[in-house]
């Protein structure tokens, strides 16, 4: 499944109104903070912190504050969508990154992803992705995520998947893999993220990346209904991947053995020996026996 098969942005899906560039000021006023129940000390921390994500954390993730973060992020996402439609990949990437920075970070690894409900840069309606944990895992395990936390997860996932879509267009496949991996942290069944990561891992064309692509394609076959028009293409990709994985494995194994032999010869040469003096033969039990040969 190559990157060229990824669907283009479609205006019939990305049909929300465009937004202008917003500034970096934080929009919560002291009055809003008081209405939301933030104590004076908490408000001082919010006011002194320029990063809205940190503000959310200091204020105990008060719903009003988090909603403001989400609203800011959504404006930047719409701005990024406009850039993406116009094929301004760098500008779209900058907008999506800025939007991601507005969102609260993940508390901890979540079990199961939120339902799909948002749109990504290429018009897919799916759900959740990145950020770093601030709260101890034990605390997160005590209670299920709230609706607001799920909404933040959906927003992070879409933003990360959109970042991945920009990197696809820029041909930076390692960055695609990294961004989509972040999206899949919050939603392991995010179809678009799996597709993009698999396609970019194919492009990287290493033993590990091709093996990862296989895993993602198999995951997609589990997720997608058998009637999906994408299933035949995924099966073709899997069929073509098998010999490529085997070839890459042999090539990289041979390179590793050559490097080890070079290192071994460097050491053994001091004793008048080389790795050619040692032969490894199958022992019939799934292992090897080493013989010394002069």
Would you place residue 179 in the very low, low, confident or very high pLDDT band (cuts 50, 70, 90)?
A: very high
Residue 248 pLDDT: 80
Residue 256 has which token pair?
A: 């590793």
Range of the domain at 72: 1-204
Domain contains 200:
yes
Q: What is the CATH number of the domain that holds 64?
A: 1.25.40.10
24 versus 37: the higher-pLDDT residue is 37
Nearest to 187 by CA among 148, 211, 214, 161: 161
Among 24-33, 187-196, 220-229, 240-249, the range scoring the smallest mean pLDDT is 24-33
Domain contains 56:
yes
Name the residue with tokens 């997160």: 140
Domain contains 260:
no
Predicted confidence (pLDDT) per residue in 147-175, tens digit: 888 999 999 999 999 999 999 999 999 99
Domain contains 270:
no
Beta partners for 278? 292
Helix (H) or strand (E) holding 211: helix 207-223
The set of residues, in sequence order, having a beta carbon less than 8 Å from that of 37 and lying 6+ positions away, is 62
Domain contains 177:
yes
- Counted domains in the chain: 1
Domain contains 267:
no
Q: What is the pTM of this model?
A: 0.61
Predicted confidence (pLDDT) per residue in 69-100, tens digit: 999 999 999 999 999 999 999 999 999 999 99
Domain contains 180:
yes
Average pLDDT, the chain: 74
The beta strand positions in the chain, using DSSP E, are 118-119, 125-126, 278-282, 288-292
Domain contains 118:
yes
């Amino acid at each position: 499944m190559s990157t060229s098969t990824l669907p283009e942005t479609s205006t019939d899906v990305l049909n929300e109104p465009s937004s202008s560039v917003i500034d970096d000021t934080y929009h919560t006023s002291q009055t809003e903070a008081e209405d939301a129940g933030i104590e004076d000390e908490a408000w001082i921390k919010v006011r002194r912190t320029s990063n809205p994500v940190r503000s959310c954390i200091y204020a105990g993730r008060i719903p009003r504050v988090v909603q403001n973060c989400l609203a800011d992020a959504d404006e930047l996402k719409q701005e990024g969508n406009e850039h993406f439609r116009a094929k301004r990949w760098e500008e779209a990437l900058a907008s999506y990154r800025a939007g991601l920075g507005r969102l609260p970070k993940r508390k901890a690894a979540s079990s199961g992803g939120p339902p799909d409900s948002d749109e990504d840069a290429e018009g897919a309606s799916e759900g959740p992705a990145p950020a770093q944990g601030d709260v101890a895992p034990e605390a997160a395990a005590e209670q299920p995520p709230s609706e607001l936390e799920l909404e933040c997860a959906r927003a992070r996932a879409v933003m990360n998947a959109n970042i991945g879509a920009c990197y696809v267009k820029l041909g930076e496949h390692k960055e695609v893999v990294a961004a989509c991996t972040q999206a899949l942290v919050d939603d392991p069944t995010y179809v678009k993220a799996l597709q993009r990561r698999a396609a970019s891992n194919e492009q990287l064309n290493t033993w590990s990346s091709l093996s990862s692509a296989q895993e993602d394609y198999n995951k997609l076959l589990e997720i997608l209904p058998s009637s999906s028009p994408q299933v035949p293409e995924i099966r073709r990709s899997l069929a073509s991947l098998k010999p490529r994985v085997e070839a890459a494995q042999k090539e990289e194994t041979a390179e590793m053995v050559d490097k080890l032999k070079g290192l071994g010869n460097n050491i053994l040469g001091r004793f008048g020996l080389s790795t050619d003096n040692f032969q490894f033969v199958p022992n019939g039990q799934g292992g090897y026996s080493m013989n010394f040969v002069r």
